[in-house]
A and B are shown apart, each in its own frame.
Chain A
Amino acid sequence: MEVVFNLVWLIPLFPLLATAAITFVPGVYYRKKLSARLTIGMMALSLLLSLLVFFATVAHPETQARLEGHAAAVKEAPAGEAVPEAGEAPAGETRPAAPEAEGEEIFLPPRPIFEREFHWMATGRLSLELGFWVDPLTAAMLVMVSLVGLCIFIYSQGYMAAEDYQGEDQRYSRFFSFLGLFAASMLGLVIADNILLLFICWELVGLCSYLLIGFWNFKKSAYDAAIKAFIVTKIGDAGFFIGIFLLYIYTDHMSIGYIIHRPEVLNRLAHTSVLGIGSVAALSAIGLFIGTIGKSAQVPLHVWLPDAMEGPTPVSALIHAATMVAAGVFLVARMFPLFQAAGSGTMEFVAWIGGITAIFAATIAIAQYDIKRVLAYSTISQLGFMVLALGLGGYVAGFFHLITHAFFKALLFLGSGAVIIGAHHVQDMREMGGLWKRLPYTFWTYLIGMLALAGIFPLSGFFSKDEILLDAFKHNPALYVIATIAAFVTSFYMTRQMFYVFAGEARSHGARAAAEVPLFGRELAAAAPADPHGGHGHDEHAVHGGPLPLNMTVPLMVLAAGTVLLSAVGLPLEEGTLFSRFVGGHADFSLLVAGISTLVALAGIGAGHLIYGRNLLRSAHDPDPLQVRMERVRLGRLRLRGKTLDLRLSALYTLWEKKYYVDEIYGFLFVQGSHLLARVSGWFDLAVIDGAVNGAAHLSRLLSSAFGWFDLEVVDGLVNLIGWFGRVFSAIQGWVDLYIVDGLVNAWALATGWVGDRLRRIQTGLVQDYLMLVLLGVALIVGLFILL
């Protein structure tokens, strides 16, 4: 076991090697298939090792003790004590039994079962250590990231082959090198035991996100989206960095374990105040949470994620749904005790941000037409759910939802990519339709993902969402109502999407030509009846590409299986669930809440069926059925300058379609604002600063003419007198210099020249003469040696 844990650092190294090979070896870079296979192979190795680590973690006695249901014992003496000295963990001393934080009990996650630190650098009294560790959180994340990652890598092979590279085919290799770098940084982020290393990897995944969003950088929209994503997340990262500094200043440690596993440290942080603003714990937790807001696209900084859909779909699935955006949530889960020590105010802030994000993004998703944008807003909303759970103290619920969401959202995104490629680069849902019989594998797997997202009973999404709702139900009724409405909206917009994409008749040429390669048998000819180049292939969209290859559909099935099977670890046992025992928290189950949430999800699907299933679109130009219905409801009349304006309910729909105008508001406030600031500064520069400078110039000209006169008449006279004396003196000096000093120097030079002239006769240029000289020299030395 120890051997396996010692190899943890290899997990992020494997994909990094693939990236290095593609980047630095031209022989790999120019061979597309080799690049792809190399990256996939390396990822497979990572997955293998991750699984080993995971099983080693499960088999560890400490974990076994928890899994067998000593939850009560664990709760009283949080981990640690029940267990013999854990592996290499340097901090082995027993902890004081009960944390004495103000009233509330602080949940301490189980200690890592393996930890290894090494010196990174030491300057003066600053000594930085980096390291990696394995604890249940890490083990679960490792398997999730590498499994989802591998599926997406394999899928990318097919997806990226169907894209148009505008003549730069090596972009295909570059794509895989970026993916490898991303996987390496994400896995590094997961195993980091140190907030600094975590931050480094955090920035690296941000960089990869930037590179991959802007992957089609010949498109202005992609290029703009990349910059937007980078800048917006950087705002969050600034907060994160401040949080790190605060923690470092007050603890002298960058190690996460030092903070989250020691009640006395947490207690000290909670009772030390910074400049009278608040406690260190609260300020640093809020700082870290601002990082989360940026990375996980929570409400004020959510604007980058929908635009990030400009990147290739596998990227959306991997980075902007399953892993990177979840890193923000992971950070909160990782630093969870700090958030609890920060007090109820901070936790409530976190919860409300999550709740607002959940409902806000979910409503926007109702009115989007781009298949990927719907999923993007859905992702934001689900991340809101996770943050909400963590804010309410639901450590297990939030983290479990992170894992299940990664599977089903990756599945949905890959499914949407399959639809896009299958329907020949159609992204607008209004131009799809009727795909369920043309892309059966995609349809059925998508259906599983959609039901999981909606939270229908046997699927994993049901259990994870239910735990969140239960936490909200117990702690905060207002947030429970919000979350339930968001859950309703979620199943509604997913139903809308299903009907738009898969039901009815195909509404574009691309959609009509969609097909898949069957899993068994060779019915290729039958599976692709709509020949891409025959019939109607020459219309506005030149249809190219054949049926969906298997390397795109099989990952869908793997992820769908994962979505279904994950529910096994979420099944409620008599105390908690397998998952909650594994990560060392507690989870409950309430039939009432589960019943309500199932009803709500079914109601959402029913409403979706009533509105969209009964009114299937006939052509791509039909209006949205919901919009049509909302148009009929008149809320009131507005009188404006004599004109009467009907205020209809569809205004709300427009508001959703325009994403609550957040982009416009930010554009006005920040972009226009900074332009305005620039103009004001410009005016200030021109009028005030330049004026002052010019005034000073005038003044100095006046002064200088006065000084000029003084200089000419008085100073010059004096200077001339001194100059005359100087001339006389220098004439004397010149004579001495010429005859005495120069004479000496010349004599020396002549002597040197003469000696040199003699000596250079020795240098004949003949080898044998030199050898003779050497011989004579040796003879001389030997002679002297003998003589003396």
Chain B
Amino acid sequence: MTIPLEYFLILASVLFCLGMYGALARKNAVGILMGIELMLNAVNINLVAFWRYGVVSEFTGQVFALFAITVAAAEAAVGLALVIAIFRSRRTVNADEVDLLKW
């Protein structure tokens, strides 16, 4: 028995919404980063799923997912570095206390 494509899409969208919620609602910057990771992984699931069920037999979907993972890793590294830098200068990791970008 094969699992139909819709299952994957539903799983991905649930994961995406969870991630989105986390990114929007968490105060802790690390939490926000984790939310973003969730969203990226949801996308990866979509990519791989579409590749598996799609008509195109090339590896585009998988390669693309690999790229996304790599970029996510880099992004996480940069993001955490930023969080640490902010923590060092402001003694907080709460996103709503950091408004340096304000006009």
- Residue numbers of A with Cβ under 8 A of B are 760, 763-768, 770-772, 775
Contact B102 A765 (CB under 8 A): yes
B7 within 8 A of A: no
Q: Does B103 contact A (CB under 8 A)?
A: yes
- Expressed in whole angstroms, the minimum distance between the Cβ of A781 and any Cβ of chain B is 16
Q: Is B99 an interface residue (CB 8 A)?
A: yes
Q: A766-B101, A767-B98 are in contact. List 19 more A-B contacts (CB 8 A).
A: A763-B101, A763-B102, A764-B99, A764-B102, A765-B100, A765-B102, A766-B95, A766-B96, A767-B29, A767-B32, A767-B101, A768-B23, A768-B25, A768-B32, A768-B96, A771-B23, A771-B24, A772-B24, A775-B24
Q: Could you say which residues of chain A place their CB within 8 Å of the CB of B20?
A: 775
A767 to B99, CA, bound (A): 8
A768–B101 Cα distance when bound, in Å, is: 12
Q: Smallest distance from the beta carbon of B39 to chain A beta carbons, Å?
A: 10
Sample 21 A-B pairs with CB under 8 A, ordered by A number. Answer: A760-B103, A763-B101, A763-B102, A764-B99, A764-B102, A765-B100, A765-B101, A765-B103, A766-B95, A766-B96, A766-B99, A766-B101, A767-B29, A767-B32, A767-B95, A767-B98, A767-B101, A768-B24, A768-B32, A768-B96, A775-B24
B38 to chain A, nearest CB (A): 13
Over the window 51-93 of chain B, the binary record of Cβ atoms lying under 8 Å from chain A Cβ atoms (1 yes, 0 no) is: 0000000000000000000000000000000000000000000
Give 1 or 0 for each of B22-40: 1 = CB within 8 Å of chain A CB: 0111000100100000000
Whose C-beta in chain B lies nearest to the C-beta of A770?
B101
- Provide the residues of chain A in CB contact with B102, threshold 8 Å: 763-765
Q: Closest CB-CB distance, A766 to chain B, in whole Å?
A: 5
Interface bracket on B? 10 to 19
Alpha-carbon separation in the docked complex, A739 to B97 (Å): 48
Nearest CB of B to A420, in Å: 66
Q: Quick one: closest B residue to A762, CB to CB?
A: B103
- Shortest C-beta distance, B81 to chain A (Å), equals 15
Interface-centre pick from A760, A763, A767, A775 (highest chain B CB count, 10 A):
A767
Q: Lowest 3 CB-CB distances: which A-B pairs, in order?
A: A765-B102, A765-B99, A765-B101
Which partner residue on chain A sits nearest B101 by CB separation?
Answer: A765
Shortest CB–CB separation between residue A765 and chain B, in angstroms? 3
Contact (Cβ within 8 A) A768 B95: yes
Number of A-B contacts (CB under 8 A): 34
Give A507 to B32 CA distance when docked, in angstroms: 94
- Shortest B82–chain A CB gap in Å is 10
In the complex formed, the residue of A with least CB distance to B102 is A765
Closest to A767 in B: B95
B residues in contact with A763, CB < 8 Å: 101-103
- Bound state CA distance, A772 and B100, in angstroms? 18
Separation in Å of the A591 CB from the closest CB of chain B?
87
Closest Cβ–Cβ distance, residue B18 to chain A (whole Å): 14
- Inter-chain CA distance A290–B24, complex, in Å, is 85
Which residues of B are found within 8 Å of A760, using beta-carbon distances? 103
A757 to B103, CA, bound (A): 11
Q: How far is the CA of A594 from the CA of B96 in the complex (A)?
A: 106
Provided the pairs A771-B23, A775-B20 are in contact, do residues A766 and B98 lie with their beta carbons within 8 angstroms? Answer: yes
Q: Which residues of A contact B23 (CB under 8 A)?
A: 768, 771
Chain A residues within 8 Å of B100, by CB = 765
Q: How far is the CB of A356 from chain B (nearest CB, A)?
A: 79
How far is A770 from B99 in the complex, measured between Cα atoms in Å?
11
Chain B residues within an 8 Å CB radius of A771: 23-24
A770 to B23, CA, bound (A): 11
Nearest A residue to B29 via CB reads A767
Q: With CB as the reference atom, state the residue of chain A lying closest to B25.
A: A768
Give, as a whole number of angstroms, the nearest-CB distance from B91 to chain A: 18
Q: How far is the CA of A765 from the CA of B101 in the complex (A)?
A: 4
A771 CA / B33 CA spacing, docked (Å): 12
- A765 CB contacts on chain B under 8 angstroms: 98-103
User: Which B residue's beta carbon lies closest to that of A761?
Assistant: B103
Q: Which residues of A contact B95 (CB under 8 A)?
A: 766-768
Distance, CA A766 to CA B25, complexed state (A): 12
Tell me the minimal C-beta distance from A754 to chain B in angstroms.
Answer: 16
Complex Cα gap A771–B100 (Å): 16
**Considering the chains assembled together, what is the distance between the CA atoms of A114 and B90 in angstroms?**
74
**A129 CB to nearest B CB, Å:** 46
For residue B96, which residues in chain A have a CB less than 8 angstroms away from its CB? 766, 768
Chain B residue at minimum C-beta to C-beta distance from A763: B103
CB nearest neighbor in A for B36: A771
Q: What CA separation (Å) do A763 and B103 show in the bound complex? A: 6
Expressed in whole angstroms, the minimum distance between the Cβ of B97 and any Cβ of chain A is 9
What CA separation (Å) do A771 and B36 show in the bound complex? Answer: 11
CA distance A766 to B95 in the complex (A): 7
A772–B95 CA distance with the chains assembled, in angstroms? 13
Give A780 Cβ to nearest chain B Cβ, in Å: 16
Chain A residues in 8 Å Cβ range of B32: 767-768
A770: min CB distance to chain B, Å? 8
Q: Which residues on the B side are within 8 Å of A768 (C-beta)?
A: 23-25, 32, 95-96
CA distance A114 to B23 in the complex (A): 71
CA distance A772 to B102 in the complex (A): 16
A772 surroundings in chain B (CB, below 8 A): 24
The interface residues of chain B lying within 8 Å CB-to-CB of A766 are 95-96, 98-99, 101
In the assembled complex, the Cα of A527 lies from the Cα of B67 at a distance in Å of 76
Contacts of A764 in B (CB 8 A): 99, 102
A681 to B25, CA, bound (A): 89
A775 contact set on B, CB distance < 8 A: 20, 24
| CA A768 to CA B98, docked complex, whole Å | 11
